[in-house]
């Protein structure tokens, strides 16, 4: 009986302690794309597939646009480099991933930047999983756009103007860690296996009595 109680207590601890998945987040800061003024982001970069993106150096950007605001991570940021041969602005992967967020900002001196916005849509197998939006101020202020809770295999970036900036793109190939205090709900198969094991232990205990 003591053994049975011990096993039951141990199972309860394992099943109902806060979930702790082994997350391995990746933050992409675009600093190793090039050493020049600007360049296309390679289609395969940072473990993901990039479409329609370029990077620009801090020194060139600041001298050209008279903006001395630092980037979240120097010395480069990403921006839409759309052209006729690469008209889609997106990030994708053959393996589903979790979008954790990014730093974004408007583009100063752009004539249509006032009141602009950016929507990021996440898809899995072609089905929309979720979307997040942020207003891009007509200033140089960087803002954080949040991530999505579900796994996706493609992100589509939909700005209502041509120019914006992005830095510190964060993602994970595993589910993010559950918040403190979250109860891990066991799968039905796990509960069934536990029930069978406890029944066997109970039968063995009765035979010893």
Report whether 18 contacts 182 (CB < 8 A).
yes
Average pLDDT over residues 115-141: 87
- The residue with tokens 């801090």 is 58
State how far the Cα of 184 lies from the Cα of 121, in Å rounded to an integer. 28
In percent, the amount of the chain with pLDDT more than 70 equals 66
Task: Kindly report, as residue ranges, where domains of CATH 2.60.120.1350 are found in the chain.
Answer: 23-177
Cα distance between residue 91 and residue 44, in whole Å: 10
Only one residue has tokens 């197998």, namely: 125
According to the model, what pLDDT value does residue 163 have? 79
Between CA 136 and CA 104 the distance in angstroms is 8
Measured between alpha carbons, how far is 170 from 155 in angstroms, rounded to an integer? 12
Nearest residue to 7 via CA among 185, 199, 189: 199
pLDDT value for 26: 96
Upper half-sphere CA count for residue 157 (Cβ side, 13 Å): 30
What dotted CATH number matches 23-177? 2.60.120.1350
Q: What is the spatial distance between Cα 167 and Cα 174, in angstroms, rounded to a whole number?
A: 21
Give me 185's structure tokens: 């709900």
pLDDT in tens, 11-35: 444 444 444 444 689 999 999 999 9
Q: What is the pLDDT of residue 189?
A: 44
Q: Report the relative pairing of strands 53-57 and 44-45 from DSSP bridges.
A: unpaired
Does the pTM surpass 0.85? The reply is no
């Amino acid at each position: 009986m003591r053994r049975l109680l011990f096993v039951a207590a141990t199972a309860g601890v394992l099943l109902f302690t806060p979930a702790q998945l082994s997350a391995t987040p990746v933050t992409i800061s675009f600093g190793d794309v090039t050493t020049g003024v600007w360049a296309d982001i390679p289609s395969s970069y940072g473990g993901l597939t990039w479409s329609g993106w370029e990077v620009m150096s801090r020194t060139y950007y600041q001298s050209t646009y008279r903006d001395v605001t630092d980037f979240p991570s120097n010395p480069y940021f990403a921006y839409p480099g759309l052209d006729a041969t690469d008209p889609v602005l997106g990030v994708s992967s053959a393996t589903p991933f979790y979008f954790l967020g990014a730093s974004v900002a408007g583009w100063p001196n752009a004539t249509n930047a006032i009141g602009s916005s950016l929507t990021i849509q996440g898809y899995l197998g072609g089905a929309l999983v979720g979307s997040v939006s942020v207003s891009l101020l007509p200033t140089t202020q960087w803002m954080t756009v949040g991530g999505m809770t579900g796994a996706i295999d493609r992100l589509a970036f939909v700005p209502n103007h041509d120019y914006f900036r992005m830095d510190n793109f964060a993602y994970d190939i595993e589910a993010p860690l559950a918040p403190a205090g979250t109860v891990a709900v066991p799968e039905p198969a796990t509960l069934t296996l536990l029930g069978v094991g406890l029944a066997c232990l109970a039968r063995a205990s009765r035979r010893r009595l």
